[in-house]
Chains A and B, each alone.
Chain A
């Protein structure tokens, strides 16, 4: 799975990636082609590169270097297509030759800016960001030693061409059309021969050029990530030793941004998960869905080799992230919400039974069917999860779940008796989103309180209260 594919499935990931300032099309491609990985060594190495980039840009002098590099990156052309032409033994035209020259000169400029990476990167990672030397290649396209990002079939390539061009110019002055055309064709033929020679000479550098494109992508991508993670307080995840997942001050960036716009605070949460299934309860609007989305986003980020929006993160890599969050109604296929959901859960169960580690996140399981059967389904689902090796968080409004699991509850409404009627916008200020361990197996009956706070018809609420009693 590439980052691009994952972004289609996950809005939060899409949001984060779009916030990252990439300067070149090569860098954007490199970022979007980042692969989801469960190889800890590889991920750790990615974290290290980003961390080294962060250390590099702390110093002002390096910041200036980076902005010079980025000015070049902003104009660098992706020459992947041209490299392919070379590989296929094609002869390049002037524009392609120009592109290779311009690209190579840009690379050598960037290379000269980054001469002391060794202070910040270990040897291995230094190589990851070190461009190949393209001096000899540039010489081929710069016979007059001008070191300018310009190109044409220079007179310096051939004496014969120089002479023919002179004759051609003379013919133009004489306005001798036949001669002009004859000399034009002759010049073209010599030029074509030179283009072929140049293409053959360049062909041996295809590997270096490909490597350069790859490294340009890595430079652009990693410094952009480093800068974004520094600016937005993302931190490097640590692989857990006790096989538990644990986040301190975990947040969900799309919501953080949205709240910031309306000058409202965001309350990050702490959560620890073992392989025991975790069941989360809490009132409506208490942030249960956001909790699941945060966990899923962070898991994606860390497995793409990125930092996570959390002060501290002890993490486990998983095979995949399996989620059932949101409305499942699938009208096109004629499935009801319930049917879609249950089929999705079936897929999850099938995978979990394969004994690979997954992160399973299920929001309000079976909420669209009757409570009696709903509770039974939640119970049974949790039981299956408890028998396998995955990590899971399931949220529910149902009480009476019997399966042994780790129970968390959102603290919920801050008790404040004087509270007057609230508008929808005020509700978040009245909720403590912190998670507490819940040993009572009782579900908070806050649906009616919430309705009351929202100023809903009194008869409606009182009637409901009576029914409960």
Chain B
């Protein structure tokens, strides 16, 4: 029973994939199944945003739904709730709405499949997790996402499990390089707690952090407009907080600065990085610092050696090479 005992230490766990079809849902189902079959723990379930299609729209392969057990508390949207194939008791309804209606909190009475939905931003996600706990769930599993489209950050959960595999690349070298990059990004150093709390509440903009920890709005509305505001960036020192995503454009510009050694970029969490591996590595090699407000506790990686097109990687070799670079447990989702 790999990593289940580990999991029981946490109150919330998110599941993310490096790419579609890397086995995130299988991993989630595996954990869920284990938790429900081997313990009397009440489990809660939600997702970030809406992950609703039964069929993956891109590859047309069937996408497993989540199978839940009696007593599990799950969150979905009004529209998806009617599609459930399970008997369940409605516990609560959110005031706020998603694109698919309000969020429905329900408790399973029978077992069966459901489509999950959830909060579309980090603050709301925190509230949803708390509310699920208030209905008696001891551990909350979050079907997460690593995508530019997602405003909800899976990092706020106590622990995270990453799924990767042939869908990301059928070249083992590339796959290992990309996965270990994501792993390294989950290990970025967090900033001091007091500052972090303040930064996590900021929704948009770019800020300077002065020596006393004061947060100064640089009044740069978007990272995309960085070109027109280059002069403003270092007016208040060399510590910057970017509330949204960071892109190659920003990293390239900062990397070219004379004082790159003194520059520290703070982002909310590792999911905000949308730069090439090379650019991030060069920035760090030149002495630049990249820190996060919210650290991520990655506790395991699962791999899916099969690509959506049917290509199979040698899973033993893949695991070996990943283990060489990543010091956390790695499992083949098809074999556990």
Contacts and interface: CB of A to CB of B under 8 A. Distances in A.
Range of interface residues on chain A? Answer: 20 to 34
A155 to B, nearest CB: 9
Interface string A138-175: 00000000000111110000000000010011001000
A75 B110 CA distance: 28
A114 interface: no
A276 B281 CA distance: 82
B64 to A, nearest CB: 15
Contacts of A165: 87, 110
Contacts of B85: 184
Interface stretch (A94-102, A308-316, A333-341, A346-354): A94-102
A158 to B, nearest CB: 13
A93 interface: yes
A71 B59 CA distance: 48
Contacts of A77: 93, 95
Contact of A152 (B89, B93, B95, B111): B89
A151 B89 contact: yes
B179 to A, nearest CB: 34
Contacts of A149: 91-92
Interface string B71-84: 00000001001100
Given A77-B93, A152-B88, A152-B89, A95 B78 contact: yes
Contact of B111 (A102, A172, A187): A172
A75 B95 contact: yes
B81 A152 contact: no
A150 B90 contact: yes
B109 interface: yes
A25 B90 CA distance: 22
Contacts of A94: 81-82, 90
A16 to B, nearest CB: 25
Contacts of A95: 78, 81-82, 90, 93, 104
A168 B110 CA distance: 9
B112 interface: yes
Interface in B136-184: none
Given A75-B95, A95-B104, A165-B110, A151 B90 contact: yes
Contacts of B82: 93-95
Nearest to B106: A152
Given A93-B82, A152-B87, A184-B85, A172 B112 contact: yes
A145 to B, nearest CB: 15
Nearest to A151: B90
Contacts of B88: 152
A99 B94 CA distance: 11
Contacts of B110: 165, 168-169, 172
Nearest to A153: B87
Kindly name the residue among A75, A93, A98, A99 whose own CB sees the greatest number of chain B CB atoms within 10 A. Answer: A98
A95 B87 CA distance: 13
A99 B88 CA distance: 15
Contacts of B81: 94-95
Contacts of B111: 169, 172
Interface string A347-381: 00000000000000000000000000000000000
Interface in A107-164: 149-153
Contact of A150 (B78, B89, B95, B112): B89
Interface in A50-102: 75, 77, 93-95, 98-99, 102
A153 B87 CA distance: 8
B91 A150 contact: yes
B112 A102 contact: no
A94 B107 CA distance: 13
Nearest to A78: B95
Interface string B104-122: 1011011110000000000
Contact of B93 (A102, A168, A169): A102
Contacts of B90: 94-95, 98, 150-152
Contacts of A169: 110-111
Given A95-B81, A95-B93, A99-B93, A152 B104 contact: no
Contact of B109 (A99, A102, A152): A152
Nearest to B81: A95
A46 B170 CA distance: 74
Contacts of A153: 87
B93 A98 contact: yes
A165 B78 CA distance: 23
Contacts of B95: 25, 75, 77
Nearest to A169: B110
A14 to B, nearest CB: 24
Max count, chain B CB within 10 A of own CB: residue among A75, A94, A99, A184? A94
Interface of B: 78, 81-82, 85, 87-93, 95, 104, 106-107, 109-112
28 contacts: A75-B95, A77-B93, A77-B95, A93-B82, A95-B78, A95-B81, A95-B82, A95-B93, A95-B104, A98-B90, A102-B93, A150-B89, A150-B90, A150-B91, A150-B107, A151-B89, A152-B88, A152-B89, A152-B90, A165-B87, A165-B110, A168-B110, A169-B110, A169-B111, A172-B111, A172-B112, A184-B85, A187-B87
Interface of A: 25, 75, 77, 93-95, 98-99, 102, 149-153, 165, 168-169, 172, 184, 187
Which 10 A-B residue pairs are closest in the complex by CB-CB distance?
Answer: A98-B90, A152-B89, A151-B90, A150-B89, A150-B91, A95-B78, A169-B110, A184-B85, A94-B90, A150-B90
